[in-house]
Each structure stands twice: as structure tokens, then as C-alpha cells.
A = this chain, B = another copy of it.
Amino acid sequence: MWKEKPSSIAKKNPEMPIYYISVSKKNEKKLLESHSRCVNIEKFLKLDTAYKGLGVDRKAACLAIQDGIIVDAGSAITIDIMQSGIHLGGYILPGLSNYKRLFSSIDALRMDFNFDISLVSLPQNTRDAISFGCIRSIVLTIQNVAKDDCVYFTGGDGKFLSRFFDRSIYDNTLVFKGMLKVLQNNLKGLL
């Protein structure tokens, strides 16, 4: 597994198909220009849910998990609840970097987070107060829906957040695992 920037996608064997999903029209265009055999598998991602407008990346991550809470912590934090392969719903919080950016618009609160903050003792200064508020509010809402279920973290801040949970797994490949599952179940339709 590896990462590539949309601005410099390496040439691949033109015979090999690239199965993909995308949440960015602009970057999808760049992928399609770089390779002749690209197959968008979005239509094969069938999630049992009543949720309207679930992003295709969230859908893929959910499909990787049968039971548990899926937290994708990027520029936004999405929290989705899966039970026996059914998506029960989900909700959205700002991402950690966006919380920080938000405070930076208020003079007295423009400072870096203290990521070593204790979530137990009450803060005694402004830097700890904003760090505690944001991190604790994120952690509490996740704990509140998770109860004793396992929490699967993915995304840039997933590793950091996972350490506040006893039953948690950090897996930055969750979206790809969901895609792989879909591919394996739809080989005939795709090949």
C-alpha cells in the first residue's frame, strides 16, 4: 500500500485495472488522465442504511466492519455505527485541526493544543482549557455511542484519538478493506 499525490501520479502498467472510489471530482479527473483502465466501483458499494447522502468513503469504511463504531478522523470527524452489517446512522464533528483553526480566530484563544492533556483533572490555564474542551467533547460523544463496542479508528487523527479507548483498533486502511470486500463479492460484474 502506498500514497501518491494527485499532482504526480506514477505511471502504472496500462494493462492493470485501477479500481477506485473518489470524493473529489478534480482529483478523479487527474487519476483518469494518468491511466486508461480505471474502474469506479462506487455503484457496487451497497450498504444497508436509511442514511441519505452518506459519502462513498464513509460507506466503504462501514462495509469493512460488521459490528462496531467507525471513526474517520480527518478534516471532519465522522462517526458511524454498524450492527450486524447494518448501518444504524452516524454523525459528524469538526476535525481536530479545524477546532484549532476555529479558536485561532479569537485573539485570546489563539494557541496550539496541548495533546498531552489529561482528560481527568480540570484545566488551570487557557491552552489546557481549549485542548481539554475539544478532545474531551470528541472522546465523550464517541464513548457515549460506543458503550462496550469496539471503536475502529481511521484517518489522520485516528491514532491519537484511539488511545482514549480501551476497546479500539487503529487501521488507516479501513476504506480500502471495504473496497476490497466489495471487489471480492463482485468479481464477476467487474471482470
Residues of A within 8 A of B (CB): 49-53, 55, 75-79, 81, 88-94, 98-99, 101-103, 105-106, 108-109, 121-126, 128-130, 132-134, 136-138, 140-141, 144-145
Contact = CB atoms under 8 A, between A and B. Distances in A.
A56 to B, nearest CB: 11
Given A76-B106, A140-B144, A141-B137, A122 B92 contact: no
A55 to B, nearest CB: 7
Interface of A is mostly: mixed
B52 A125 contact: yes
Given A92-B133, A94-B103, 11 more contacts: A52-B126, A53-B126, A76-B103, A89-B121, A91-B128, A91-B129, A91-B132, A92-B103, A136-B144, A137-B141, A140-B140
Given A50-B124, A126-B53, A136-B141, A94 B102 contact: yes
14 contacts: A49-B124, A51-B123, A53-B125, A75-B106, A76-B103, A77-B133, A91-B129, A91-B136, A92-B109, A93-B134, A122-B145, A136-B144, A137-B137, A140-B140
How many copies the complex holds: the figure is 2
A145 to B, nearest CB: 8
Contacts of A78: 129
A89 B77 CA distance: 27
Contacts of A89: 121-124
Nearest to A121: B89
B92 A129 contact: yes
A99 B90 contact: no
A137 B93 contact: yes
A123 B136 CA distance: 21
A120 to B, nearest CB: 11
Contacts of A99: 94, 102
